Amino acid sequence: MVRSIEVTAVLGLGGARSHNVHWTGRIEISLDCFVCRRNGRTTEVQHGDEEGSCSGDGRPGWIARHPAPVRVSAFDSTDLEGSGESGRTVLRAVVDQWWAPFHDAKRDEPALALTARPWVRLHLGYLCPEPLGAGTFSTQTNLGRPHTVGCAQCGEPIATDHETPRIRLLT
Ligand SMILES: [Zn+2]
Ligand SMILES: [Zn+2]
C-alpha cells in the first residue's frame, strides 16, 4: 500500500545580499523498508526521480544499499518576503512509499508506516553573487538550534535555522 509522508520546513533568509537560497529537491528520510526488512533506514530520494535508494545494512549477510519504492509526489516551496532578517522560505514536500507490514529482521519490533523515530534531512543550494559561485547546505531533524548558515565563499549569513522540520503521516 502507498503511504504518504508530509515534510514541512521553514528557514529564515538573512544577509544583506541575496544568495538565491533554494531547496534542491534532494531528501533523506528514515523509513521502515519492507524490501530489506529493516526499520529506520536512511532513504534518499530526489524530486522528479521514479525511485529512491535505501541504505540497507552494510554488514555481511544483510541486504546492502538497494533501489527503494519511494518517490516525491509533491514539492512546493514558497518564499515569503520580509524586510531585513524576516524573509523566509517554506517547503512542503510529500514522500510516497510503497509499504507493507513486516517485522524488523534484526530487532524485535514491528515496522510502522511512519517509522518510530522519524528523521529527515533536506538539501538546499545557493548562489553567491561575489565572488560568483554555487554552494550547498542542509537542514535536518537533529541539529542544534537556532543555527546560522554562512556562505562558504563570502562568509555572509544566508539562512537562519530555528525550527525543526516536521514529519507526519498523511495516509
Ligand atoms: Zn531497504
Ligand atoms: Zn556569499
The grid cell for 65 is 544499499
Distance 88 CA to ligand 2 centre (A): 18
The ligand with the least distance to the CA atom of 35 is: 1
Distance 57 CA to ligand 1 centre (A): 8
- Domain hosting 139: range is 2-169
- What pLDDT, on a 0 to 100 scale, did the predictor assign at position 53? 98
At 55-97, the pLDDT tens digits run 999 899 999 999 999 999 999 999 988 765 678 999 999 999 9
pTM, two decimals, is 0.94
Distance 105 CA to ligand 1 centre (A): 11
- What pLDDT, on a 0 to 100 scale, did the predictor assign at position 16? 72
Question: Which of the residues in the chain have pLDDT under 70?
Answer: 83-85
The ligand with the least distance to the CA atom of 14 is: 2
- What pLDDT, on a 0 to 100 scale, did the predictor assign at position 84? 58
Distance 16 CA to ligand 2 centre (A): 10
- Plot region of 21 (φ>0 → left; ψ -120 to 50 → alpha; else → beta): beta
Distance 101 CA to ligand 2 centre (A): 47
Distance 162 CA to ligand 2 centre (A): 21
The ligand with the least distance to the CA atom of 115 is: 1
Distance 8 CA to ligand 1 centre (A): 24
Domain count, the chain: 1
- What pLDDT, on a 0 to 100 scale, did the predictor assign at position 25? 98
- What pLDDT, on a 0 to 100 scale, did the predictor assign at position 15? 73
DSSP string, 76-135: EEEEEP-SGGGEEEEEEEEEEEE----B-SSSS-B--SS-SS--EEEEEEEEEETTEEEE
- Residue 60: partners with Cβ closer than 8 Å, 6 or more residues away: none
The ligand with the least distance to the CA atom of 62 is: 1
Distance 60 CA to ligand 1 centre (A): 15
